[in-house]
Amino acid sequence: MAMQLDFRPKQIYEQVADQIRAGISSGTYLPGSRLPSERDLAHRLKVSRPAVREAIGALQNEGMVVTRHGSGTYVADQVDDGPIIPIRSHAEADFSPNSTLEVRLLIEPAIARLAARRAKRDELAESYLAQMASVKDINDARQQELWSECDRLFHRQLALMTEDALIVKIADEVEKSMAQPLWNRLRDDGIYDPERIQLYVAEHRLIYESIISGDENAAALYVEGHLKRVQRDINARE
């Protein structure tokens, strides 16, 4: 059997998660204890706060820590004895949500421009908008799942509206990153109230209406503004 080697460098958040994981394993951070604040961890490890946020999100997904809004992040009460290893291997690690957003900021305004040149209505895009608007409680598991799926598929549908096969293939890769647990963890934490949900819906509608009216500049501008808001929201909370 041929050996498969993974030469992908570890992302910054993975390295931060390793450091926190080692602290839990060594007893520096005991079960039930509060972790240092994101600001403190960023200072100690000499990384950005978004990288710490992503690391904590990854550890939440592994069940190693829990975050209590307004209180902080705590080591889970039950931590097995012995070495602590991530649930997923390095090769399977989720992409950094902030890196995903940087890529999206590069390509999605261009996608919106191309779609606006076609200036055609799209039933599926309109269906995703309607379903997102129907979500009232993002803390309800089924509504949260509906929101995540429709948000992801709406942005992919914009690529389909360009009628360009290569653009769609690129968008498919982006869509996969938006289906990953870490993306959903940080995104859902950032849109935790009904007003924020409806704001996102309004931004999606502005993007869609600009596209079908053929306004390339507005479509690109609204996409960029929306993605920058997402970036702020997933990085704004302690």
Q: Tens-digit pLDDT profile for the chain (238 aa)? A: 455 555 678 999 999 999 999 999 999 999 999 999 999 999 999 999 999 999 999 999 999 999 887 788 999 986 554 444 454 555 578 999 999 999 999 999 999 999 999 999 999 999 999 999 999 888 888 998 898 899 999 999 999 999 999 999 999 999 999 899 999 889 888 877 778 888 999 999 999 999 999 999 999 999 999 999 999 998 876 5
pLDDT value at position 84? 47
- Residue 137 inside a domain? The answer is yes
What pLDDT does 89 receive? 52
Could you tell me the CA-to-CA distances from 147 to 35, 151, 183 in Å, in that order?
31, 6, 13
One domain for residues 114 and 135:
yes
CB 54 within 8 A of CB 98: yes
Are 174 and 102 contained in the same domain?
yes
Does residue 91 fall inside a structural domain? Answer: no
Q: Which of 64, 86, 108 is the last residue of a domain?
A: 86
Residue 81 resides in a domain:
yes
Residues 134 and 229 in one domain: yes
Q: Does a structural domain hold residue 76? A: yes
Q: Which residue is it, tokens 């705590």? A: 74
Structure tokens at 33: 């204890």
DSSP-H helix ranges across the chain: 12-26, 38-45, 49-62, 97-118, 123-133, 141-160, 165-177, 181-190, 194-212, 216-235
* Cα dihedral across residues 179, 156, 149, 224: positive or negative: positive
pTM: 0.85
Full domain range(s) for residue 42? 12-86
